[in-house]
């Protein structure tokens, strides 16, 4: 299935990312900000926040958690390269929040989350996706009321944005190597159910079936001056 030429919306995303790359709003966060390709896609994936490797390479989900995430997507027919080119990869926060003294990465606080909200809301408004995939608890609660993971993963939820966008929401657990949630029951089965729902979604079929010789108009990460 051919996908429509996104035209001016792609340029608007490029401009948005140009502004994002200069953002230094949060003194407790470590930059530079990270984003994916400027691609107008029927699917928007929203992660939590980049780690140290993502900051160094300027690429979302480029290390251990990313390997797990793309293994999940590969199991339902979309490889990493195709996903990165054809799916908008967003996040709740775009800079590294630093380490938690008790282990793992620090969870961004409410002020930091609020300061970064405009970036993913801008992406949402420009791309108007039909499917949103929030990855991890911090991402999930941006779109629906806080619940336990086993109450939201494995199901498809309706989402309506403040400006009237209607989309399907299919949450996933965070693929962190430190997490055991998706490796044990009921998480293991709920993850399989969530991936099956994504696989059956028309927007996913569109990405999977898109012709390799008619790529979406994408822009690689803007080089820093």
The model's pLDDT over 42-99, given as tens digits with 9 standing for 90+, comes to: 999 999 999 999 999 999 999 999 999 999 999 999 999 999 999 999 999 999 999 9
Average pLDDT on 188-209 reads 97
Domain membership flag for residue 221: no
Pair 225, 46: CB distance under 8 Å: no
More reliable by pLDDT, 1 or 162: 162
Average pLDDT on 16-26 reads 97
Domain membership flag for residue 1: no
Number of separate domains in the chain: 1
**Per-residue pLDDT band at 217 (split at 50, 70, 90):** very low
Query: pLDDT, tens digit, for every residue of 153-193?
Result: 999 999 999 999 999 999 999 999 889 999 999 999 999 99
Helices first, then strands: H and E counts in the chain: 9, 5
User: Cα–Cα distances in Å, from 55 out to 50, 51, 118, 130, 190?
Assistant: 7, 6, 20, 29, 31
Domain membership flag for residue 174: yes
pLDDT attached to residue 6: 53
Domain membership flag for residue 224: no
CATH number at residue 100: 3.40.470.10
Domain membership flag for residue 215: no
Domain membership flag for residue 225: no
Instruction: Mention every residue, 6+ apart, whose C-beta is less than 8 A from residue 77.
Output: 199, 204, 208
Domain membership flag for residue 45: yes
Residue 222 token pair: 């803007």
Residue 35: pLDDT over 60 = yes
Quickly count: other Cβ atoms within 10 Å of residue 25's Cβ.
13
Domain membership of residue 119 as a residue range: 9-22+29-208
Q: Are strands 88-91 and 43-47 parallel, antiparallel or unpaired?
A: parallel
């Amino acid at each position: 299935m051919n996908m429509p030429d996104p035209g001016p919306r792609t340029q608007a995303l490029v401009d948005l990312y140009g502004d994002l790359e200069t953002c230094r709003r949060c003194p407790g966060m470590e930059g530079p900000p990270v984003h994916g390709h400027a691609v107008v896609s029927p699917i928007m994936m929203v992660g939590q926040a980049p780690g140290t490797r993502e900051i160094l390479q300027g690429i979302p989900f480029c290390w251990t958690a990313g390997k797990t995430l793309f293994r999940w997507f590969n199991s339902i027919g979309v490889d990493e390269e195709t996903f990165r080119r054809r799916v908008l990869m967003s996040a709740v926060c775009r800079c590294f929040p630093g380490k938690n003294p008790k282990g793992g990465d620090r969870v961004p606080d409410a002020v930091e989350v609020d300061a970064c909200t405009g970036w993913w809301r801008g992406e949402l408004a420009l791309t108007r996706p039909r499917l949103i995939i929030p990855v991890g608890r911090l991402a999930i609660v941006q779109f629906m009321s806080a619940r336990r993971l086993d109450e939201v993963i494995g199901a498809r939820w309706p989402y309506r944005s403040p400006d009237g966008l209607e989309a399907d929401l299919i949450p996933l657990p965070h693929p962190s190597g430190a997490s055991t949630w998706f490796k044990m029951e009921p998480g293991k089965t709920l993850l399989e159910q969530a991936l099956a729902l994504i696989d059956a979604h028309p927007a996913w079929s569109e990405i999977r079936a898109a012709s390799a010789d008619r790529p979406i108009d994408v822009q690689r990460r803007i080089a820093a001056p």
